[in-house]
Amino acid sequence: MSNIVRGGARWKRNKHSPDSTDPPIQILPVASAYGTALYRGDFVKVLSDGTIAACSAGDTIYGVVSHVPQYYDGTVVRAGGSLPASTTWGSVIGRESLVAVIPVRGQIFSLCADDGTTAVTQATFESYVQENVEWVAGTHVGDQSGTLADISTHATTNTLSLRIENIPNKNFQDFTSTGVELEVSVNLVQDVGSGSTTGT
């Protein structure tokens, strides 16, 4: 039995409010003609002008893309699961690209591991709980991010982006296969500080 490899970070629960059924959401702008596509489940950061941009592995993370409530496709304003690269809205504020973002502080996300060789048993994966890992971008599928946990980077090093909180659904996972599901939180969290122009 192989795992279904689902790319992107998917919201699971609020660490401080476990009965919550919906994630916190903020609607944030993306600069006109921003050159990188944003997909559901991508990690993003807030830039000094207040717009969001895709993170690279190792960046301090502000949030995870939930969906895209508004973008201009060149003819009409529409909604979708992803924001195409280089979407241009110019100076017409009604066409502004807006992305729904789940701020990562205090949240738990599901993220699949990117290989099936670093660990091949349930016991080994369980030994990684409370260790840290980096993530890799992967290849998107449709509107869904390709982001995966880079399980080979697992370490106690606290400068890695993600912390492994749990290995869920243990009876339904193939621990010898790519795509083992992890529950993770974010270590390197970007909060937009009051009065700060840089978000730190």
80-119: pLDDT as tens digits: 999 999 999 999 999 999 999 999 999 999 999 999 999 9
What the block records as the tokens of 68 is 């895209």
In 3D space, the residue among 111, 81, 83 whose CA is nearest the CA of residue 95 turns out to be 83
Query: Mean pLDDT over residues 135-162, rounded?
Result: 95
Decide: 30 and 101 in contact? Cβ < 8 Å: no
Residue 32 has pLDDT above 90, yes or no: yes
State how far the Cα of 191 lies from the Cα of 80, in Å rounded to an integer. Answer: 26
Stretch among 12-21, 35-44, 102-111, 187-196 having the lowest mean pLDDT: 187-196
- Nearest residue to 119 via CA among 169, 174, 162: 174
Q: What is the rounded average pLDDT of the residues 10-30?
A: 93
3-class SS at 37? coil
Domain ranges of the chain: 25-103, 107-186
Mean pLDDT of the residues in the chain: 93
Q: pLDDT value at position 192?
A: 58
Does the pLDDT value for residue 13 go beyond 80?
yes
Residues 156-191: pLDDT tens digits? 988 999 999 999 999 999 999 999 999 999 999 998
- Percentage of residues in the chain having pLDDT higher than 90: 88
Confidence (pLDDT) at 1: 66
* 8 Å CB contact between 147 and 65: no
38, pLDDT greater than 60: yes
Q: Per-residue confidence at 2, pLDDT binned at 50, 70, 90?
A: confident
Distance CA(67)–CA(34), nearest Å, equals 17
pLDDT at 200 over 80: no
pLDDT at position 90, please? 92
User: For 55-80, how does the pLDDT look when each residue is reduced to its tens digit (9 = 90+)?
Assistant: 999 999 999 999 999 999 999 999 99
Q: For residue 39, which of 77, 65, 59, 70 has the smallest C-alpha distance? A: 65
How far apart CA 151 and CA 180 sit, in angstroms, is 10
Length of the chain: 200
